[in-house]
């Protein structure tokens, strides 16, 4: 009888040990499942707020330390969604305030020299080479060039409006424009809907094809595009790429995500998400537009002849835009721009997108990825 009790006792202890082991292994998962169930009942903003730190740790910790969480139903926020949640507009405004702070005279040379060394700035081209001349970072970013530093090509009809790197160029097909190779964005989303006003010669578009057709105003013409990325070390002013007349400005408040080529490959329709200023008008072959796209720390986009433009404001409605017409009762043509004339500037670096109408025999004199400087030829007939 004693042996039977001892056997039962041992069996009971083994069962208790098994139960204890099961609880030890599964209790964390049960607790996590219960916690995730509580998270699923939260509102979407609260859920994003509570999941954000865990997602950051998920991507930062080595060796997949938080990967076991996926076994209990938790999924990290995607890298793209995580990046979009970063308050880039607030950071850009803070950076803009910092740029306006006047540096002590003794600190200017070391600060600017570090920037020059980091981004490869050629100060021999600057109109003022003395680093002590620039009171703050903003003045240094917007430095002017010597007149002979950028000769304007007179043989070609379209020149580069800025220094930078050619990300993409070519004909616009199926109302999709490539921001980089293989990554596209919608032409209508980028330029915005065509609303009928006195200064816009085209009525609203009913479909993608009709939208493109209304930009192409002359028979036998095609629509072309060119994307130029301005790195932080580039000359930050941009100029008129051809002789044309600006009739309309559309400002899209939006995000201020980085527009470097790596990010452009990562986020589809990046240029449609970011803040941008679209200038539209006409040149000798029809429709012509130049769009200045903002980026992180580049919330300030300035158009010299447009004093009413204010970018990177604290509040904006997602998807909204503001229109302004340069055609008035006293000025029926708009703002005439000569090729090479000063047009505007960025703080730091960003992207210029040209979309224009031209005859079918228009040829770009470019290669994807090449470096280009303001005044050099983009293409001609």
**pLDDT tens readout for residues 256-281:** 776 666 666 667 777 777 888 999 99
List pLDDT tens digits, range 170-227: 998 877 777 665 677 788 888 888 764 444 444 444 455 677 778 888 888 999 999 9
Is residue 133 in a domain?
no
Share of the chain above pLDDT 70, in %: 65
105 is a catalytic site residue: no
Which sign does the torsion angle of CA 245, 224, 276, 138 carry? negative
Q: Which of 38-52, 77-91, 115-129 has the highest mean pLDDT?
A: 115-129
Q: What is the structure's pLDDT at 51?
A: 55
Answer whether residue 64 is part of any domain: no
Q: Which of 239, 248, 251, 285 is catalytic?
A: 239
Q: Given this model, what pLDDT does residue 202 score?
A: 44
* Rounded alpha-carbon distances, angstroms, from residue 136 to 91, 103, 104, 233: 18, 6, 9, 16
- Type and span of the H or E element at 84: helix 79-84
* C-alpha–C-alpha distance, residues 24 and 91, integer Å: 45
pLDDT at 214: 80
Give CA separation, 319 vs 185, 255, 264, 322, 369, in Å: 15, 10, 20, 10, 31
Measured CA distances, 227 to 136, 184, 353 (Å) = 30, 12, 5
Q: What is the arithmetic mean of pLDDT over 219-239?
A: 90
- The stretch 292-318 carries a mean pLDDT of 78
Please indicate, yes or no, if residue 314 is contained in any of the structural domains.
yes
For residues 300 and 356, is the Cβ–Cβ distance under 8 A? no
Q: What is the pLDDT of residue 6?
A: 45
Q: Check whether 135 has a pLDDT greater than 70.
A: yes
pLDDT given at position 9: 46
Q: Which of 84-88, 158-162, 354-358 has the lowest mean pLDDT?
A: 84-88
**How many structural domains is the chain composed of?**
1
Containing H/E element for 377? strand 377-380
Q: Which of 81-90, 133-142, 269-278, 285-294 has the highest mean pLDDT?
A: 285-294
**Does the residue 184 lie in any domain?**
yes
Report phi then psi at 3, rounded to 5. Answer: -65, -35
Using pLDDT thresholds of 50, 70 and 90, give the confidence band for residue 377.
very high
Q: Give the total residue count for the chain.
A: 381
Could you list the residue range(s) of the whole structural domain that residue 216 is in?
158-194+208-380
For 306-346, the DSSP string reads -TT---S-S---TT--EEEE---SS-SS-EEE-TT-EEEEE
Q: Identify the pLDDT of residue 73.
A: 53
**What b/e string do you get for 353-373 counting C-beta neighbours within 10 Å, with b at 16 or more?**
bbbbbbeeebebebeeeeebb
Q: Is residue 307 part of a domain?
A: yes
How wide is the angle at C-alpha 127 spanned by C-alphas 122 and 129, nearest 5°?
60
Percentage of the chain with pLDDT > 90? Answer: 31
Distance CA 24, CA 178 (A): 54
Q: Is-contact 378 244, C-beta < 8 A?
A: no
User: What average pLDDT does the segment 15-30 reach?
Assistant: 46
Q: Which of 51, 92, 162, 163 is catalytic?
A: 163
Instruction: Give pLDDT, residue 197.
Output: 47
Instruction: Give the number of other Cβ atoms within 10 Å of residue 54's Cβ.
Output: 14
Nearby residues of 127 by Cβ (< 8 Å), 6 or more positions away:
143, 144, 145, 146
pLDDT averaged over the chain? 76
Question: When comparing pLDDT for 182 and 114, which is higher?
Answer: 114
DSSP state of 300: -
Q: What is the mean pLDDT of residues 57-73?
A: 54
Name residue 364's beta-bridge partners: 379
Describe the crossing of helices 2-40 and 44-60 by its angle, rounded to 10 degrees: 110
- Give the chain's radius of gyration (CA, Å): 28
Domain for residue 35, yes or no?
no
In a domain, 24, yes or no: no
Residue 163 catalytic? yes
Q: Determine which one of 51, 255, 300, 350 is catalytic.
A: 350
Q: What is the pLDDT of residue 44?
A: 47
Answer yes or no: are the C-beta atoms of 301 and 352 closer than 8 Å: no
Q: What average pLDDT does range 318-335 have in this prediction?
A: 84
The residue among 350 and 354 whose pLDDT is bigger is 354
pLDDT (tens digit per residue) in 25-39: 444 444 544 454 444
Q: Specify if 261 maps to a domain.
A: yes
Neighbour count for residue 217 (Cβ, 10 Å): 14
Q: Is 239 a catalytic residue?
A: yes
């Amino acid at each position: 009888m004693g042996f039977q009790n001892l056997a039962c006792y041992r069996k009971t202890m083994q069962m208790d040990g098994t139960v204890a082991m099961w609880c030890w292994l599964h209790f964390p998962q049960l607790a996590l499942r219960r916690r995730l169930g509580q998270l699923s009942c939260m509102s979407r903003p609260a859920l994003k707020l509570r999941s954000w730190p865990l997602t950051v740790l998920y991507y930062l910790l080595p060796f997949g330390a938080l990967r076991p969480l996926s076994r209990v139903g938790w999924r990290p926020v995607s890298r793209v969604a995580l990046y979009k949640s970063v308050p880039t507009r607030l950071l850009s405004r803070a950076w803009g305030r910092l740029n306006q702070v006047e540096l002590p005279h003794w600190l200017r040379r070391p600060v600017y020299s570090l920037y020059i060394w980091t981004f490869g700035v050629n100060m021999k081209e600057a109109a003022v080479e003395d680093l002590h001349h620039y009171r703050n970072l903003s003045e240094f970013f917007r430095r002017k060039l010597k007149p002979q530093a950028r000769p304007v090509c007179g043989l070609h009809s379209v020149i580069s409006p800025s220094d930078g790197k050619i990300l993409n160029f070519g004909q616009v097909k199926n109302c999709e424009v490539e921001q980089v190779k293989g990554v596209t964005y919608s032409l209508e989303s980028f330029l915005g809907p065509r609303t009928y006003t006195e200064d816009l010669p085209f009525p609203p578009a009913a479909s993608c094809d009709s939208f493109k057709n209304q930009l192409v105003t002359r028979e036998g013409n095609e629509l072309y595009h060119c994307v130029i990325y301005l790195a932080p070390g580039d000359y930050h002013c941009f100029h008129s790429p051809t002789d044309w007349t600006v009739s309309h400005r559309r400002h899209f408040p939006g995000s201020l995500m980085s527009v470097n080529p790596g990010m452009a490959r990562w986020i589809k329709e990046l240029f449609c998400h970011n803040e941008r200023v679209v200038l539209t008008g006409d040149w000798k072959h029809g429709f012509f537009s130049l769009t200045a796209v903002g980026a992180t720390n580049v919330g300030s986009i300035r158009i010299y002849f447009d004093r009413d433009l204010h970018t990177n404001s604290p509040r904006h409605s997602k998807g909204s835009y503001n229109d302004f017409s340069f055609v008035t009762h006293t000025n029926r043509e708009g703002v005439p721009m000569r090729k090479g004339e000063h047009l505007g500037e960025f703080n730091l670096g960003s992207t210029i997108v040209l979309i224009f109408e031209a005859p079918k025999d228009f040829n770009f004199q470019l290669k994807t990825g090449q470096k280009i400087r303001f005044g050099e030829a983009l293409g001609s007939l």
